[in-house]
Amino acid sequence: MTAPRLLRSVLYTPGHRGDLIAKAPRYGADALCLVLEDSVPDELKPQARETVAASLTVPGAVVFVKVNPPGPGGLEDDLASIVRPGLAGIILPKVLAPADVHHADALLSAAEAEHGVEPGSVAILVLIETPLAGVRAFEIASASPRIVSLIPGAAANGDMARELGFQWTPEGIERLFLRSKVLMDQRAAEVPNPLDGIYGEVADLEGLEVEARHARQLGYRGKLVVHPSHVAIVNRVFTPSEAEVREHRRVLEAFDAALAEGSAAAVVDGRFIDYAMAATARQVLELAERAGVGA
C-alpha cells in the first residue's frame, strides 16, 4: 500500500454539508477528508453517509473519509455505505490497539469485495488520540499493510490533551515527545506518509506556519487542516523550496563527480557528503518533482 499521490495537506470537510464538499477541491489541498465522526450531529449521520458516498468521485479530489469508531451506528454502518469506487482511504479515530485496525481491515476487505472496489486499495490513516495508543504506536502502525499514516492528536483541549493533562502552548514542548514517538514508531514500521494533526487556531496563520515547520523539521510529510485558509501555507511548508532543490542538486553533482574520480566522498560548502547524504538529496529531489518544483 502506498499513499495516493502527494499528501501534504488533507482538508477536513463536514460530511453532511454537500455545499462545502462541492467547493472544497478549489482550495488546492492534496486530499479531502469528508468527516462522518465528531463534526456531524448524530441525527444527521445517515444523511451524511449518503452525501459522502455521492461525493467520492468529486472532480479533482482525492477523498478520504473520517469514520466513526465501532459500535451501533458507527464504523460498520459507515463502511457499508462509503466503500465504493473513488474512496482513497479512511481516517480511523479512537484506535487503542492493533485489534482495532484488524477489525477495520476485515470490514474494508469485505466491503471492497461486495462493492467492486479493488482489493486492498482503501488506505487506513490512524489517529493516535490517547496515551495508550501512543504507547502502542509501533504495534498499531504494523497492524495492516493498508496503513499509510499515523497522526498524533495533539490539538489544544483535544482528547490527548485532556488525557495527558498537558497545557497547549505555541512553542509545543508539551507535544514534542508525542509527535516524535509517533513519527519514530511509524517510520520503524515503514509507514510511508506521516501526517501531523490539526492546528485548531483557525485565524492564527503565523502560528500555523510555525507549527507546520516544526512538524516538517521532525520528519512529517504533511498535516491535517481544518480551514481552507490553512491549505496554501501547509502545502508551501511541506514542499522543498527552489533553494533546497538547487542545494541538493549541487550535492548530487559533487558526489557523482567524486564517484567518477574513484571516491565516495565530497565536500560541498564545507559539508562532508557521502552515500547517505546523496540518498537524502535524491529523496528531497523526488519529493520536489512530485510537487512540481524545479522541473
Radius of gyration of the chain (CA): 20
Q: What is the DSSP letter of 290?
A: H
Residue 70's Cβ-count burial label (10 Å; 0-12, 13-18, 19+) is middle
- The residue ranges of DSSP E strands in the chain, in sequence order, are 9-14, 31-35, 63-66, 87-92, 123-128, 147-152, 195-196, 222-225, 266-268, 271-273
Handedness of CA 202, 78, 29, 25 (dihedral sign): negative
| HSE, side-chain direction, 13 A CA sphere, residue 37 | 19
> Pairing between strand 266-268 and 271-273?
antiparallel
* 129 known member of a binding site: yes
List alpha helices for 44-122, DSSP H: 45-53, 75-82, 98-114
Q: Cell digits for 102?
A: 484488524
Q: What does the alpha-carbon distance between residue 201 and residue 158 come to, in Å, rounded to a whole number?
A: 13
Q: Which of 168, 173, 292 is nearest to 241 (CA)?
A: 292
- Count of beta carbons in the 10 Å neighbourhood of residue 217: 9
Q: Cell digits for 120?
A: 486492498
Q: N- to C-terminal Cα distance for the chain?
A: 27
Residue positions forming the annotated binding site for Mg(2+) = 129, 159
Residue positions forming the annotated binding site = 129, 159
